Every structure is written in C-alpha cells, then in structure tokens.
Amino acid sequence: MRHLPLDHPGTADHRSPTRFLWWLAGGQWRTLVGGMAFGIVWMSCQAVMPAVIGRAIDQGVSAQDGGTLLAYAGLMLAVGLVQAFTGIMRHRFAVTNWLTAAYRTVQLTARHTVHLGGTLSRKVSTGEVVAIGNTDISALGQVMDVSARFSGAVVSFVLVAVILLQTSTTLGLVVLVGVPGLMLLIGPLLSPLQRRSTAQRHLMGGLSNTASDIVGGLRVLRGVGGEQVFLDRYRRESQATRRAGVSVARVQSLLDALQVLLPGVFVVVVVWLGARYAVDGRISPGELVAFYGYAAFLMIPLRTATEYANKLIRARVAAQRVCRLLALEPEVVEPVEPAAAPPVGAELADARSGLQVRPGTMTAVVCEPSDDAAVLADRLGLCAAVPDDDVTLGGTPLTALPRADVRRRVVVSDTAATLFSGRLGDRLDVTGAGGAQVERALATASAGDILDALPDGLDTVVTERGRSFSGGQRQRLVLARVLTGDPEVLVLVEPTSAVDAHTEARIAARLREHRTGRTTVVMTSSPLLLDAVDQVAFLRDGVVVATGTHADLLRDVPAYRAVVTREEVSV
C-alpha cells in the first residue's frame, strides 16, 4: 500500500517528455512490475483456455472418455479461478499505478509552483497550470494504467503464436506476420493524432485561462458592463477549442474503427483457414474450436496494443506541458555562498530609492506615481522580476541570503493576496502560531464582526479564493493572516483600501500597537494610516525626496500634500 501524498515526489528528469515518462515509471517500478506480472498471468490464462477446451473436445467428447472430460473440466475451473484472481489483482495494481503517477505529478508541479513563487504568474498563465491539474495528470495516469494490460497482451500474443506454430505452421505464421501488419496499418494515424492533440491541449490551456480571468474579474466586469464582451471572447475561444476537439475526434474515431475492423478481418481469415484445414482433415474438431477461440482472443491483445499507443501519445503531449513548467527557474536564485544572517532587528534599506527603515518602527511610504509602491514592495521582499543587491537587511544584500531566510524574515502582503479554500481557522493560522495569536490578529484587523456573522466561526469553510466574503472582508482577513505570522519585517501594500473610514481608523490605531518592537512598512496614501506611523517617506519617481511625520510633510511639502489630500498643486 502506497500512502499519498509522498514525503517527497523526487527530482524529475524534465529534459524531454520521454525522459519524464521514464522517470515517472522508475519511481513506481515495483507496482508497475507487479501489475505487469498479474497482467501477463491474467491474459495468458485467457490465451490457453481455447487449447484446454480443444483438448477436452478431442480427448473427452470425441473419445467419449468421461474421466478425461472431467479432468479437463477441473483444469478449466482452475485456470478460470487463476484468471479471476489475477484479473482482480491486475486491476488493483492498475488503479494504484494511475493514482501514483497522477498525484505524484500534482505534488511535483505544486512543489515547483511554490518554488517559483512570483515567477510563475509572470511566465505561465493560470489556465495552463489549471489544465495540467485537470487534464494532463489523467493522461499520465492512464499510460501507467494500461501498461499492465499491454505487457500481458505482448506475452499472450507470443504464447498463442507458439501454440499455433506447434499445431499448424501456416496458421502460426499468419498470426506472427498478421498482427504486426495490422499495427503497421494503424501506425500512420498516430502522428497526426499527436499533432492535433497538442494543438487542442494548447487551446484548452488558453480557454481555462480566459475562464479564470472572467471568474476572477466578474464584479469588475459587471461594474463596467463588460460581461458581454468577455462572453463573446469566451465563446470564440471555446468554439476554436471545440473545433480542435472535433479534429482530434475524427482521427480518434477512425483509429477506434480500425481497432474493431482490422482485428475482425483477421479473425475471419484465421477461422476460414482453420475451417479449411478441418475439412481437409489436417486438424481435429477440437483444434478447430481452439483456433476459433485463439482468433477471437487475439482481438484483445490487438486492441490493447493500439490503446497503449494511443494513450502513450496523449501522455507524451501531457508530459511535454509538465516539462515546460518544470523547466522554469525562479528569478531569485540561491546564492552560491550565502552570507551570514544579520541579527534580529536589523535595518532594512534600499540604496536605489534611498529608503531607510529604522528597526522596530512603523514606516509609511507614499509614492508618486502610486504604481511605484507595488514595485518598491516587491523589491523590499525580494519578489521583483529582476532582483538586485540594492535592498539590504543589516547591510547584507537580500540576494546574498538564503531565500528561505528572506521569506521567513521579510513578508510582503500586497493587494493581490487572496484567501485559500478550506477551514477559515487553518487558512489564517498558516504558521501554526495558535488560537490566541489568531484572535489577536483578527482584533487588530477589525475582523471580529466577520467572525460573529459566521455560524461556524473559525470552522467555516472558505470558498475558492474567498469569494463568499466581500472585498473589504477579504482584505481584513488577509491582513489578519499576515499578522498571525508575526514576521520580523512586514511590508503591507494598501492594507485598508477596501474598508470604510471608521474601520480604517480602528485598524490604524491597533496596527501600531500590534507591531510594537517589529519593523513595519506600509505603502499607502491614506491619511488615517499615515497619521498613526512613526515616520513617513515620500518618494517621487522612485526616489525619497522627503521624510518626517505626516503632519510635518503636510505642512512643508506641497507635492506630498497634493498626493495625500488629492488637491491641485501649482508647479
């Protein structure tokens, strides 16, 4: 029994789809071998059954020997019982192989997604990642599933061919030559099937991305009356995906039809030859019945072989998409020789902008233009697309520190932060701080009313992306979550932009007390928050031009006053 998830999914070989599939198979070789062993015995039992029946007819029925007939009946029962047992075990191993391959891939891609961090959203669309979890894992699991039956098909084919060669060289040669010939006739369909499947897979990823955009921005779309525009766009993309699916289905239907037609023709040929041999007296009636059984049985390994080829193609397409994701590297790389960790309470500074944040203080940053705030926050948390050595902690560049240490000590919570689905208490206490810390954080974020309105309190199940909450409620819960972690340095980007003035005033008053002794940087232009901090830094075009208290800057810096109060200023 294999327990999922695995402790570690391993390091995948993603140099090519074939290498990835081999790596995937190598990680579960024991269950694959077990499934193949049972598959071989299971299908071999079916292969020898016609021979047993033929012998029973010739030596029992034709010879009117009751004892011999009873013995062969017992043998058939034994073979049937073995077939039943091995069939059950083969199926159990097949399901295990499917689940292991599929969910190992999920675990692998999930770990790599966490490893990539902000790099993922900049290089891969959301729909592409969703399509891997929805579609590609199934294709990878299916090829591991069918492998047991395919190995049994190969062995049973050889077994039947040997039996036929011993009985009739002509019929044996027909089988040995005919079956590979049928596979060659189907082969030309496999290449266009792979091309069309790849194109369809690409369109499915784009369609998933469009659907994700629509769902994520539904409220905004309704506000600006853009639902119809995006609906039309989704319809066009879905129709293109449908046409690609129909194109795949045309080849697939032809392949499925040939899987029935060609083996059927082959069965007719073998039975016709066997009947002629029986009429001529070359084979006995029992051998004729056996030949018919062999011919009917051979349809199973033939269809299994074509099914395996079909699923292998789909698995290669899926593996190619997974390999592309795994080939991505985070923009923030681990230093070759990490620097010594700065002491707790070190100063955070940015040489490019001139920002200096005193340890243990609450500092607000006002930016003109306002878009610079998110850019600066990413740089302070080592989340920028192009990290540099300008941001330091205690004089040590963040790029020189182990990434895990930076993520633990400096936490950025921006406006794009969302809630994950699951139990609310677990989603708020992501660091295991405990119930008391969660309650304190909820109070600071003025989120007590949210909890009071929920019948199950912290046991409430959060829906996907927290859509059951309003924008202001989600923002306060996200703030409570990051406060629960109590990081050494906390960078907040517009943490109260979606709440009303009374709630914002409560949060501003409580936040300073909550973060006493910790370094906090707040990117905001809200007067209520600015009035509650120790120091305000005013940046224009990415450079600090003034620092001081909120009151001092309002009095002495007209440009600052214009940004905060939204008033016109003469230049």
Count CA atoms within 13 Å of residue 315 on its CB side. Answer: 25
The rounded distance, in Å, linking the Cα atoms of 1 and 19 is 26
Q: Are 267 and 141 in the same domain?
A: yes
User: Does 571 reside within a domain?
Assistant: no
What angle, 0 to 180 degrees and rounded to 10, lies between the N-to-C axes of helices 66-116 and 17-26? Answer: 120
Structural domain of 457: 348-565
Q: Are 226 and 366 in the same domain?
A: no
Q: Are 412 and 320 in the same domain?
A: no
User: Does 333 reside within a domain?
Assistant: no
The secondary element (H helix, E strand) that includes residue 108 is: helix 66-116
Q: Are 256 and 389 in the same domain?
A: no
Enumerate residues 6+ apart whose C-beta is below 8 A from 350. 356, 376, 379, 380, 390, 391, 392
Find tokens 């024991």 and name the residue: 30
CATH number at residue 193: 1.20.1560.10
The domain boundary, picked from 326, 359, 387, lies at 326
Q: Are 241 and 205 in the same domain?
A: yes
Contact 522, 541 (CB under 8 A): no
Nearest-10 Cα torsion for 39, 42, 47, 53: 180
Sign of the alpha-carbon dihedral angle for 498, 438, 107, 335: positive
| pLDDT tens-place values along the chain, 571 residues long | 566 667 778 889 999 999 999 999 998 899 999 999 999 999 888 888 888 888 888 888 878 888 888 998 999 999 999 999 999 999 999 999 999 998 899 889 888 888 887 777 777 766 677 777 777 888 899 899 898 888 888 888 888 878 877 877 777 777 777 766 766 666 676 667 666 766 766 666 666 666 666 555 555 555 555 566 667 777 887 888 788 778 777 777 777 777 677 767 777 777 787 788 878 877 788 877 887 787 778 778 877 887 888 788 889 888 988 998 899 888 888 888 889 989 988 999 999 999 999 999 999 999 998 888 988 998 998 887 778 889 999 999 999 999 889 989 999 998 777 888 888 889 888 888 788 899 999 999 999 889 888 888 888 988 877 778 888 899 999 999 999 999 999 999 999 988 898 999 999 999 999 999 999 999 999 999 999 999 999 999 999 999 999 999 999 999 999 999 876 544 4
Contact 350, 379 (CB under 8 A): yes
DSSP string, 224-248: HT-HHHHHHHHHHHHHHHHHHHHHH
Q: Are 322 and 354 in the same domain?
A: no
Is the pTM higher than 0.85?
A: no
What the block records as the tokens of 436 is: 């008391």
Q: Are 304 and 405 in the same domain?
A: no
Check residue 202 and give its pLDDT: 66
Check residue 20 and give its pLDDT: 94
DSSP string, 38-63: HHHHHHHHHHHHHHHHHHHIIIIIIT
Check residue 535 and give its pLDDT: 95
The secondary element (H helix, E strand) that includes residue 446 is: none
DSSP string, 461-514: EEPGGGTTS-HHHHHHHHHHHHHHH--SEEEEESTTTTS-HHHHHHHHHHHHHH
Q: Are 260 and 399 in the same domain?
A: no
User: Does 409 reside within a domain?
Assistant: yes
Check residue 329 and give its pLDDT: 86
User: Does 336 reside within a domain?
Assistant: no
Check residue 539 and give its pLDDT: 95
Cis bond upstream, residue 330 (ω within 30): no
Enumerate residues 6+ apart whose C-beta is below 8 A from 167. 283, 287, 290, 291
The rounded distance, in Å, linking the Cα atoms of 194 and 315 is 10
User: Does 11 reside within a domain?
Assistant: no
CATH number at residue 545: 3.40.50.300
Q: Are 100 and 222 in the same domain?
A: yes
- Helices and strands (DSSP H and E) totals, the chain: 21, 12
User: Does 341 reside within a domain?
Assistant: no
373 phi, psi to nearest 5 deg: -65, -45
User: Does 357 reside within a domain?
Assistant: yes
The rounded distance, in Å, linking the Cα atoms of 166 and 162 is 6
Cis bond upstream, residue 5 (ω within 30): yes
Q: Are 109 and 35 in the same domain?
A: yes
Q: Are 243 and 358 in the same domain?
A: no
Domain count across the chain:
2
Locate all alpha helices (DSSP H) within 363-466, ordered by sequence.
372-380, 403-409, 424-428, 435-444, 448-452
Count CA atoms within 13 Å of residue 18 on its CB side. Answer: 0
DSSP string, 320-377: HHHHHHHT---SS---SSPPPPPPTTPPEEETTTTEEE-TT-EEEEEEESTTHHHHHH
User: Does 570 reside within a domain?
Assistant: no
Q: Are 190 and 319 in the same domain?
A: yes
